[in-house]
Structure 1
C-alpha cells in the first residue's frame, strides 16, 4: 500500500463524485482520452491520486475484461474511499452519458432516425482524433521514461494493435510477466535464466413488472453480461462482439441502426461502451436500456472492486511494481495503436485530416483549452461542411 493511500485524502468523496459527474458529462474522445483526462486532472493538476495508484488502476483495467475507462474510474474511486467510493464514482461517471443516449434513443425512434448524426460525426470524429492523440502522447511520455524494455513492450503492443485492429488480452499478461522476470526475478531463478524466459514471453411496481417482455429482457441481460464479462480492452473493443450478437445472431437491429448506435456513442461524452444503453432502448425501450447497461457494467465493477484490496496490499513489492509497469507500457502502446486505428476510419478526406491537425495544434498551443469547446466547434463545422462535400 502506498503512502499516498495510507495518508488522509486531500479531497472529499463529494469532490471526487463531482469531478466524475463532470467528466461523464463533458469528457469526449472515448477511452483513450478519458483515462488521459483522469491522469491530467487527478494526478498532475490536483494531486489527489498518486502516480502509483493510477498505474495500478490502469493495469487492473487492462488485465480484467470490460471497458477500460469505466474500470479505471471505479478503481480511482476505491483508492481512498473503498467500495463506497468505487460504487458512487462508477455511477457518477456512467449516469450522465446513459441519460443522454436514452434521450437520443427516444428521438431516434420518434423521428425515424438521426440524419444529422453523420454530419456531426464527420466533424467530431476528426477533432476527437486530435484529442486522443495528445492524450496518448502525454501518457507515453509519463509512463515509459527511459526504460528500454518498457519501450520495446510499448512498440510491440502499438504494432499489434494497428495490424490486428484489436487488443489481445494475453499480450498484456505476457508483458507483465516479462517485466517481472526482467526487473525483479524470483530468487530461485538465475538472472540469465530470467532474461531467457522473458524473451519467450514477449510475443418498478408489480403492474409495471407484469407488462415487461421478460423473455426478451432475459436475452438482453444474458447477452450484455457476456459482453461485459468476456471482452477485454477499451470500450471500442466491444463493438465487434456487439455487432455479432445484436445484428447477426439475434437480429435486433439492422446494419444501419447498429452504425447509428456506435455513432451515438462517439458523439456523446463518457465511456464509448454506453452505446449498449442506446441499443437496449431500441430493442426493448427503457427496461431494455437499463438491463443492457446493468449487464455490461456490473461485471467490470466486480472485476475491479474484488481484486483491488490485493493490488493495494501487495502493490509495492518489487515484483508487483515491475509487473504493473510493464502492463502499463503495454496498455499505453495499445492505446496509441488504437489512435491510429480510429484515425484510419475517421479521417476520410482532406477536411477531416485538417480538422484533426488543427485540434492537435490548438491543444498543444493552448494547454487549458476546454475539449468540449473544441468538440462543439468541430460539430458545427461538420454540419456546415458535410452537406457541401456529400
Structure 2
C-alpha cells in the first residue's frame, strides 16, 4: 500500500471523507480541468496532507499520459492510492454525479423552454462566447503541448486542416500520429500494441450490459459512439468537442449545429469536468436514459485507463516510447480542437453582435489570465437577452 502524506502506510483519512471531498469539488469546482487539479493539490496535498506529493505527481502524470478528462482521471487515481478499486470507483462517481445532475436538469429546461424567445436569446450570446473560449483554450494547449517541435507542429496543422475539410474526426489519424512520433523519437525494440488494443475493445462488451433490458438500437448507438469518444479525450476535456461534432451533428444528425453549440455552452457554465456535456447531448437525443448511457460510456474508458495501468505506471510511465506516443496523440488532438473552432464558428458567428461577443471574449481571456469562463458565459447570456430582440433572425 502506498504511503500517506505523513509517511504512514495507513491513510490518515477515511474513504468516506475522500468521497465527500470529491463530491463537493464536483458540485462547486468551476474553472476547468487546470483549476480543478490545482484545488486537489491545495486541499489534499498542502492543506489536509491526505496524499503525498509523490502520489499526486504520479496521478497527474498518468492523467496527462492516458486518454481521459484530466480532472476526473486524477480524482479517480487519488481515490485509488489508498483504497484501490473501491476507492477509485466511489471517488470517480462522487466527482461526476453533481455536474451530471445539473446538466440533466439544464437539459430538461432546454427541451421544455428551448423554443421560448428568452432562452433563444440567452444561447445566442453564449454560443458566440463559447467560440472565444475554445479559441483561447486551443491557444494555451498549443503553447503548452506543441511548443517548437517541428514534427508536432506538422501533425497539429495536418489534423486542423483535416478537421476543417471533413468537419469530423478520423480516429485512426490520432493513433497514427502517436505511432509516428514514437517511431521517430524512440524506435521501439518491442511492440505492445496488442495489449492496448485489447483494452479498447474490451470496453464495449462492458458497456453493452449497462442497458441490456432497455429497448434499443438508439441507446446501443449512443453507448458505442460515446465510448469511442471517451477513449480519445487527450490533452483537455475540450478535445472531445470535435469528436462529438463529427458524430452527433454530421454522422448521426442527432442534434442541429445550434443545439451542439448550446450543449458545449452548458458544459462551460456548470461545475465539474467539461466532458459532462455528453450528458446534455444524451438527454436531448434520448432523455434520461440517453444522458445516463452517454455519461457512463464516456467515463468508463477514463476509469479503466486509470485503474488498470496504475500498478505499473511507476515502472513504465516515463519510458521514452510511451512519452513520445502520447506527445503525438496530444498534438493531433489539439490540432483537431483548432480545426473545430473554424467549423463551429461558421455556424455560430452569424452577424455583427455574435462576432463582437466572440472577439471580446478572446480579448478578455487574453488580458485577464485569472478570469473564469463561467463569468464570461453568464455575461454573454445577459448580452444575448438584451441584443437578440434588436436584430431580425
Contact 1:17 1:88 in 2 (8 A): no
2:363 corresponds to = 361
Deviation at 1:378, TM superposition (A): 0.3
CA RMSD of aligned residues (A): 4.0
Could you list the per-position Cα deviations for residues 113-171 of structure 1 after superposition, in whole angstroms to 9, with x for gaps in the alignment?
A: 44433211111111112222222211111112322222222222222222222222111
Residue by residue over 1:184-222, the C-alpha shift from the partner in whole angstroms, topping out at 9 and shown as x without a partner, is: 12369xxxxxxxxxxxxxxxxxxxxxxxx9975444542
**Alignment equivalent of 2:158, drawn from 156, 159, 162:** 156
Match of 1:227 in 2: 225
How far apart are residue 388 of structure 1 and its match? 1.2
- Indicate how the Cα distance of structure 1 residues 343 and 52 shifts in structure 2: closer, same or farther if over 3 A, else same: farther
Q: CA offset at residue 44 of structure 1? A: 11
Structure 1 range deviating more: 307-316 or 113-122: 307-316
Other-structure match for 2:148: 146
Query: The residue matched to 1:149 in structure 2 has which SS?
Result: helix
Is the Cα–Cα contact under 8 Å of residues 280 and 292 in structure 1 kept in the other structure? Answer: no
8 A contact 2:158–2:335 mirrored in 1 = yes
Distance 2:40 2:157 in 1: 27
The correspondence for 2:63, drawn from 51, 57, 61, is 57
What is the distance in 1 between the residues matched to 2:343 and 2:41?
28
**Which has the larger displacement, 35-44 or 76-85?**
35-44
Q: Once structures 1 and 2 are overlaid, which stretch shifts more, 348-357 or 216-225?
A: 216-225
Contact 1:101–1:278 at 8 Å: present in 2 too? no
Contact 2:111 2:284 in 1 (8 A): no
**2-side partners of 1:88 and 1:112: how far apart?**
35
TM-score for the superposition, normalised by structure 1: 0.70
Residue-by-residue CA offset, 1:286-310 (whole Å, 9 max, x unaligned): 4564455445544554355435555
Partners of 1:325 and 1:214 lie apart in 2 by 38
Whole-angstrom CA distance in 2 between matches of 1:141 and 1:79? 27
2:347 alignment partner, one of 345, 361, 370: 345
Bigger shift: 107-116 or 332-341? 107-116
Counterpart of 2:389 (choices 356, 381, 387) is 387
* Equivalent pair of 2:23/2:94 in contact (CA under 8 Å): yes
Residues 1:273 and 2:278 aligned together: yes
- The number of residue pairs the alignment matches comes to 336
On the 8 A contact 1:74/1:89 being kept in 2, the answer is no
The change in CA–CA distance for 1:288 and 1:298 in structure 2 (over 3 A counts) is same
Work out whether residues 129 and 356 of structure 1, in 8 Å CA contact, stay in contact via their aligned partners in 2. yes
User: For residues 150 and 130 of structure 1, what CA distance do their matches in structure 2 show?
Assistant: 24
DSSP 3-state at the match of 1:368: coil
CA distance 1:303–1:259, shift in 2 (3 Å): farther
User: Of 175, 179, 182, which aligns to 1:180?
Assistant: 182
Displacement after TM superposition at 1:336 (Å): 2.1
Partner of 1:103: 105
**What is the deviation of 1:51?**
7.9
